[in-house]
Amino acid sequence: MALNVLNYGAYEEKWWETNFLEDNGYNRQTTFYADLSIAEWCSGIKGIKDTYKKVLKSWKGNVKYLTEFVMCLNHKAWEFADSNFLLRQNRLAWVRTQEQADELTKVYTELYEQGYVEVEKMFAKDSESLSYFYEKLD
C-alpha cells in the first residue's frame, strides 16, 4: 500500500502515542505530531518552521496545547538524532541520507529550545501554568 501524506500523518500520530505517550500515561490533546510530520513530508524544514510559527501564534495562552507542542518538538529531535532508529523503523523512507536526518535533528532541537523559552516567557506570571509545563516536560 502506498502511503499518502494523510495516512502518513495518522500513522505518525499513532506511532507517537504507542512509543512515547502510553509509557508515560499522557493522553495527547492535539494533532501536533502529525502536523509536524505532514510538514516534513510536504515542505521539509520550511514547513516545519511555518508550523512552529502558526502553532505559537494560534495557541498563545493555551498552556496545555503549547506544552504538548514543545513535547512534540523534543521527541522529533530525538527521533531524527537516532540514525539507527531511522534505519530500523524504515518508516521515514523519504529521509534518504544521514545528512537529512542530521539537519532535521538540528532544526527540531533549535525549535524545541526556542519553544521552551517562548512558553516560559508567555506564562512567566502564571505559576500554575508554568508548573504544568515543567511537570509534563520533566
23-32 pLDDT per residue, tens: 778 888 999 9
Q: How confident is the model at residue 2 (pLDDT cuts 50, 70, 90)?
A: low
For cell 523519504, what's the residue?
A: 94
> 85 pLDDT exceeds 90?
no
How far is it between the farthest Cα atoms of the chain? 50
Q: Which secondary structure element, helix H or strand E, spans residue 40, and what is its range? A: helix 32-58
Cell of 95: 529521509
Q: How confident is the model at residue 11 (pLDDT cuts 50, 70, 90)?
A: confident
Q: How confident is the model at residue 1 (pLDDT cuts 50, 70, 90)?
A: very low
Of 65, 76, 62, which is closest to residue 112 (Cα–Cα)? Answer: 76
Q: Where are the domains of the chain?
A: 5-137
Instruction: Answer yes or no: are the C-beta atoms of 108 and 136 closer than 8 Å.
Output: no
Q: Which amino acid is at 83?
A: S
45-81 pLDDT per residue, tens: 999 999 999 999 999 999 999 999 999 999 999 888 8
Burial class of residue 90 (count of CB atoms within 10 Å of its CB; 0-12, 13-18, 19+): exposed
pLDDT at residue 24, as a whole number: 77
